[in-house]
Amino acid sequence: MTIHSPTSTTDEILDVTDRTEAVNNGDASDLARTAPRGPVMETRDLNVFYGDFHAVHDVNLSFGRHEITALIGPSGCGKSTVLRSLNRMNDLVAGAKVQGSVTYHGEDIYGPKVDPITVRQHIGMVFQKPNPFPKSIYDNIAYGPRVTGMKVTDMDAVVEDALRGAALWDEVKDKLKSPAYGLSGGQQQRLCIARTIATRPDVILMDEPCSALDPIATARIEDLMSELKTEFTIIIVTHNMQQASRVSDRTAFFTARPDETTGNRTGLLVEFNRTQDIFEAPADPRTEAYITGRFG
């Protein structure tokens, strides 16, 4: 497959950025009044089914390079489903079917010759519940570079860089061989972020990464995200409105619409815009109702 490496695309993307006017979201253009230029990833008419259940309908989104995009909306509207579609994690869910396209630097990640493992090396993921491996702190970080066959001359340096990048180094540098399970929840989540960045992805997907953390650990992760975006593109699902408004550059608001006959609730994108506009001047009354706490 030819999914580009993050470094080889830099010039190309800068080129595109210079030339491209705001990307219009096709039929859903009114939903994206200011889409990012030269997006790293895009979805076009993304639909996801679990068996016969239509979980999300016609999602058109563009994710800007070195931006944080927040996906928000009430429970069950399909945020995690959309997020998992962005690095083919839904391939691992029995019965899940993805239609439409998801492109990464213009290449369809569901293309016939594309290897999902390679996709996930470029587009990493951090989950809601910290999920370190039952290994030492060191081995949690070294695992990815080892199994993906990264050329590493100094693994100690790779481990240190990743832990520094995840703002965890100072807290663990004297106990690298200790089990990761001995860390606090907030430390474990930063370890999982370190593990993700150790394999040098281009995009990091985060599904409610702070929902199991206290406010102090949450603040640390939020600070970290702002640092990480200088190197990575981040897409985060969050239920925390303040978090979305604090950390993200753009916000996508989803809701779920019940089918008139079946009553099944299918998720759809209501509005996608700069975060400030979403929170200060939402275009759709459903967005306003949600962010002001009157719905969802």
Site residues (vs ligand ATP, CB under 6 A)? 50, 53, 55, 75-81, 93, 265, 267
Choosing among Mg ion, ligand ATP, none, which partner's interface includes residue 93 (Cβ < 5 to 8 Å by kind)? ligand ATP
Nearer to ligand ATP, 9 or 85 (CB): 85
Six token digits for residue 80: 């995690």
Distance in Å, CB of 267 to ligand ATP, minimum:
6
**Shortest CB 72 distance to Mg ion, Å:** 11
User: Smallest gap, in angstroms, from Cβ of residue 51 to ligand ATP?
Assistant: 7
> Which runs of E-coded beta strand occur in the chain?
41-50, 53-63, 68-72, 96-104, 107-108, 123-126, 203-207, 233-237, 250-258, 265-274
Phi, psi for residue 120 in degrees, rounded to 5: -70, -20
Q: How far apart are CA 57 and CA 189, in angstroms?
A: 31
Q: How many residues bind Mg ion (CB under 5 A)?
A: 1
**Amino acid letter at 103?**
T
CA distances from 92 to 81, 88, 116, 182, 254 (A): 12, 8, 10, 29, 23
Q: Does 80 bind Mg ion (CB under 5 A)?
A: yes
d(C-alpha 90, C-alpha 201), whole Å: 19
CB of 239 to Mg ion, least distance (A): 9
Closest CB to Mg ion among 80 and 233?
80
Verify binding: residue 255, Mg ion, rule CB under 5 A.
no
Q: Tell me which residue has its CB nearest to Mg ion.
A: 80
DSSP β-bridge partners for residue 271: 253
Complex with ligand ATP: residue 46 or 172, whichever CB lies closer: 46
Closer residue to ligand ATP, CB minimum distance, 68 or 163: 68
Q: Whose Cβ is closer to ligand ATP: residue 100's or residue 267's?
A: 267
CA 237 to centroid of chain Cα atoms: 7
Partner from ligand ATP, Mg ion, none contacting 55, C-beta within 5 to 8 A by type: ligand ATP
Query: Which element (helix H / strand E) includes 82?
Result: helix 79-85
